[in-house]
Chains A and B, each alone.
Chain A
Amino acid sequence: MSEIPKDIVDFARLTAGNFEQKIITVREVFMNKVSGEPASGIGFCTKHKGKALTHKKAGKDRMMVEFNVSDGENTIECVAHNAEDAYLPGGLGTDELTSLIDDLDQSQKMGSKLEIYGNYINNGAKRVFLVDALSLEAGFMHSQMTTEQFVTFKNLCKKNDISPMDLMMRDDTLWAELYAKDYLKKAILLFCLSPERKQDMIHIGIVSSHGEGKDHLVERVIEPLVPCRLVGSGKMATIPGLFGAMSGDDLSCLEVGLLPKMNHQRVAISEFQTWDDSTFGELMNMMANGSVSIQKGNLDVTRETTENLLFLGNPPNHYNEEDYEKKDMLAAFGKYTHQIVSRLSLIFTQLSLAGDDATGMIRNAILKSMDRDFDNEAMKETLEMWRSFFREYLAYVSHIRPNLREYAPRINSNYDVLESKSQFKLAFNIRNKRDNRKYQEFANLVRGFARLQGDDQIGIHHVGEAYKIFSKSLSTLTEEFPIKALEYGIDYKLIDIHTRLLSKCSEATTKAEIQSKIKVSDANLAELVKLKAVIKFDSDDTYLVREFDWDSLEASP
């Protein structure tokens, strides 16, 4: 691997050095509960309500706002008020309190992050955090990278004949701690973009064997790079926890769940095969519309959930390739499999993500991690520098909105090629002539690649890359995880071979003759004979390919 040009490294180091690291945490506030020292933190408003202050000392028509700010791990009970100092010091002006309520409302509805400043006080029998100042934190949506820095970086890349995406895919920048194939790196980088609108969302599914490093991917690549929360498995991820629920203290307000909290960001779902069908059912609207509607009691609210989802799952434990019991893998998304698959921009279903040829590189990465090579100060600093630089780069390019319509003829033709492939209909169970959702997802991939490259105009490479990754996704779906064939417990390749044999060999013929016409291995031919899709005549050692109803296998033991 060639070295990264020095002028790019120097520029990235200088630029990243000036970025302020914003972390969603209220830990500092939480730790100052006893001392009452001033503290600040970033989190989300999960609920808020107003309370009238009737005490004479408070003044006329004064109120207190009680609200909770949570980072997902700790929840801070906060108050703000406009009472006189004689009643409680630290009161805000009327305008300030009005603005604070507006910000709380926005945080709760839109999942915007809040930054709070203040200190703990005793209020009655309660220890609460009295907020002096509160601001909506746009840091995760808004990039700290300036236009000038972005243009300089692009120019440096051009001068050195290297693209921003190439830099982000290198093993010495963002992928030092995990070995992955290029297509997977590209998919993860697309996932790391921040969706501004619902059309920008990119949902990705990865189903592979256990021990393939899927959680490692989240912990060592995604989470250090961009804000991303990991959702628990099965019963650990409840619907109220994900979407929100009525507050136990006040039934007229809603405590927001994880998904609205991560609006414009991303969420990874680990071991999704352990989820109940009902959870997937609730997720379908969110995946398509970027919002969830909740009707409960006297509440009727909509919360924005414009975010990217990453589904990570395994085949069941009893699954093994030899027995072809792949039917169970199909059940990973439960009864909503086809609906969820339709909403996934990309889905990779391979038992091995890295491929057998990568064993050496994977082992090397594991040993490096176990030896704590990444804790070495120099390496740690370099990795953190690249992560910090590209975190802001990704936030910056997420706002670029290249015009797709100008490139429509090529985008349409590329999509038509994908749609006309037999694999496409097989994979997505398309009943209609056209699938507009898949078209929109494809166009979004095109724009995603333009964004990763920092380009404000669509070009052939963006369309080409989108085609390639979509086509890769399609091939893993149908060839390595054949949805239709899986239902019959048969490898799709075998069905394909049978179809080709049928068209080429209409009469009984020898194995040598068959193999001269069609590329078919002895093992595949034997398998077809076993399934009775091909009849073998032992008398003259010939084979007859017969019409075969693969559906009939479904009922067979």
Chain B
Amino acid sequence: MKDQTEADTTWLMLRIYYYPQFMEGLVDLAWSERYEILKTLYDKGHPDATWDVRSDTPMEDMMEYVSRKGYFKFFCAGTVVNQDGSFKFHSQLTECLKEEGF
């Protein structure tokens, strides 16, 4: 089995402590705001294949995508984890972080 790297350890920490806060902040937003953030994060994580407006109802498209894939993909797209274990969030992701049920 592959040894756990520094980056893996950081991802574990982010999944436990930050992702719930991201979710808490995100679902508190109206869908129009949420859409903008999700689109920004998606584009950040996929610079070569940005979120295309697929139809006349992009927000509904996003809702449908989220219902299938969940939010974690967006969280990952807005996060950069370095080999030494340090990490950095996209500013939009940071602003979404909201202290959840403690």
Q: In whole angstroms, what is the CA distance A245 to B66 when docked?
A: 67
Most buried by A among B12, B16, B30, B99: B99
- B13 and A460 within 8 A (CB): yes
- Tell me if B65 is interfacial: C-beta within 8 Å of chain A: no
Cβ B33 vs Cβ A181 within 8 A? no
Contact residue among B13, B88, B89 (Cβ-Cβ distance under 8 Å from A463): B13
Interface residue ranges of B1-39 to A (CB < 8 Å) = 6, 9-10, 12-13, 16-18, 21, 28-30, 32-33
Q: Do A421 and B102 touch across chains, with their CB atoms under 8 A apart?
A: no
Q: How far is the CB of A401 from chain B (nearest CB, A)?
A: 21
Q: Given the complex of chains A and B, what is the CA–CA distance between A416 and B86 in angstroms?
A: 10
Instruction: Give bound CA distance, A500 to B33, whole Å.
Output: 9
Taking a contact as CB atoms under 8 Å apart, the answer to whether B88 and A460 are in contact is no
Whether A475 touches B16, Cβ cut-off 8 Å, given contacts A410-B85, A421-B94, is no
Interface residue? B72 (CB, 8 A): no
**Cβ of A22 under 8 Å from chain B:** no
Contact partner of B88 among A416, A475, A519, CB < 8 A? A416
A539 contacts the other chain (Cβ, under 8 Å)?
Answer: no
Known A409-B86, A472-B102; judge A460-B12 contact (CB<8 A): yes
The distance in angstroms between the C-alpha atoms of A463 and B21, with both chains bound, is 15
Q: Are A464 and B13 in contact (CB under 8 A)?
A: yes
The answer to whether A420 touches B85, judged by C-beta atoms less than 8 angstroms apart, is no
Docked CA distance A519–B28 (Å): 8
A183 to B95, CA, bound (A): 22
* Interface membership of A516, Cβ < 8 A: yes
B16 / chain A contacts, CB cutoff of 8 Å: 460-461, 464
B32-85 interface with A by 8 A CB criterion: 32-33, 82, 84-85
Q: A379 interface residue, CB < 8 Å from B?
A: no
Q: What does the 1/0 interface line of A435-470 toward B look like (CB < 8 Å)? A: 000000000000000000000000011011001100
Nearest-neighbor residue (CB-CB) of B99 within chain A: A475
Q: Is the CB of B88 within 8 A of A422?
A: no
Interface flag for A413 (CB, 8 Å)? yes
Interface size on A, residues (CB 8 A): 30
Chain A residues touching B, majority SS: helix
* Total interface residues in chain B, CB < 8 Å: 28
B82→A409 contact, CB < 8 A: yes
Q: How far is the CA of A413 from the CA of B83 in the complex (A)?
A: 13
A302 touches B (CB below 8 Å): no
Q: Which residues of A contact B32 (CB under 8 A)?
A: 504, 516-518
Contact B97 A420 (CB under 8 A): no
- Report chain A residues within 8 Å CB of B6: 409
* A420 partner residues in chain B, CB cutoff 8 A: 91, 94
- B86 and A412 within 8 A (CB): yes
Whether B33 contacts A504 by the Cβ 8 Å rule is yes
Q: Which of B97, B99, B102 contacts A417 (CB 8 A)?
A: B97
A471 lies within 8 A of chain B by Cβ:
yes
B13, A471: Cβ atoms under 8 Å?
no
Cβ–Cβ contact B86 & A410, under 8 A: yes
In chain A, positions 468-486 with a C-beta closer than 8 Å to chain B are 468, 471-472, 474-475
Contact B87 A518 (CB under 8 A): no
A412 and B85 alpha carbons, distance in the complex (Å): 10
- Tell me whether A421 and B95 are in contact in the complex, defined as CB-CB below 8 angstroms, given that A460-B13, A464-B17 are known contacts: yes
Contact B84 A468 (CB under 8 A): no
B residues less than 8 Å from A181 (CB atoms):
102
Nearest Cβ in chain A — how far from B19, in angstroms? 11
Q: Given the complex, which residues of B lie within 8 Å of A475, measured CB to CB?
A: 98-99
From residue 512 to 554 of chain A, which have CB atoms closer than 8 A to chain B?
515-519
Q: Does A7 sit at the interface, judged by CB under 8 A?
A: no
- Per the bound structure, the CA–CA distance linking A464 and B98 in Å amounts to 14
- B82 CB contacts on chain A under 8 angstroms: 409
| Known A464-B13, A504-B33, A517-B30: A409·B85 in contact at CB below 8 Å | yes
User: Are the C-beta atoms of B95 and A422 separated by less than 8 Å?
Assistant: yes
Q: How far is the CB of A346 from chain B (nearest CB, A)?
A: 13
Which residues from B are CB-within-8-Å of A516? 30, 32
Q: How far is the CB of A439 from chain B (nearest CB, A)?
A: 15
Indicate whether A182 reaches chain B with its CB closer than 8 angstroms: yes
CB distance from B84 to the nearest CB of A (A): 5
Contact B91 A183 (CB under 8 A): no
Nearest-CB distance from B11 to chain A (Å)?
10
- A409-B84, A421-B94, A475-B99 as given contacts; A460 in contact with B9, CB under 8 Å: yes
- Considering residues B21, B86, B89, B95, which has the most beta carbons from chain A within 10 angstroms of its beta carbon? B86
Q: Contacts of B9 on A, CB cut-off 8 Å? A: 410, 460
What distance in Å separates the Cβ of A412 from its nearest Cβ neighbour in chain B?
Answer: 6
Q: Which of A371-425 contact B (CB under 8 A)?
A: 407, 409-410, 412-413, 416-417, 420-422
A413–B102 touching, CB < 8 Å: no
Does A472 contact B33, Cβ atoms closer than 8 Å? no
Q: How far is the CB of A154 from chain B (nearest CB, A)?
A: 21
Contact status A519-B29, CB under 8 Å: yes
A523 to B79, CA, bound (A): 36
CB-based contact B10/A471 at 8 Å: no
Give the contacting residue for A472; candidates B87, B88, B99; CB below 8 A: B99
A515: nearest residue on chain B (CB-CB)?
B30
Q: Give the residues in chain B near A410, CB-CB below 8 Å.
A: 9-10, 13, 85-87
Q: What residues of chain B lie closer than 8 Å to A416, measured between beta carbons?
A: 88
B residues lining the A interface (CB < 8 Å): 6, 9-10, 12-13, 16-18, 21, 28-30, 32-33, 82, 84-89, 91, 94-95, 97-99, 102
Excluding A460-B17, A475-B99, 14 further A-B contacts by CB distance (< 8 Å) are A182-B102, A407-B85, A410-B85, A412-B86, A421-B94, A421-B97, A422-B95, A463-B13, A467-B18, A472-B102, A500-B33, A516-B30, A517-B30, A518-B33
Give 16 A-B contacts (CB < 8 Å), ordered by A residue: A409-B86, A410-B86, A413-B85, A413-B86, A421-B97, A460-B10, A460-B13, A460-B17, A464-B13, A464-B17, A468-B102, A472-B102, A475-B98, A504-B32, A518-B33, A519-B33
Q: Which 6 A/B pairs are nearest by Cβ-Cβ distance?
A: A409-B86, A464-B17, A460-B13, A409-B84, A475-B99, A183-B102
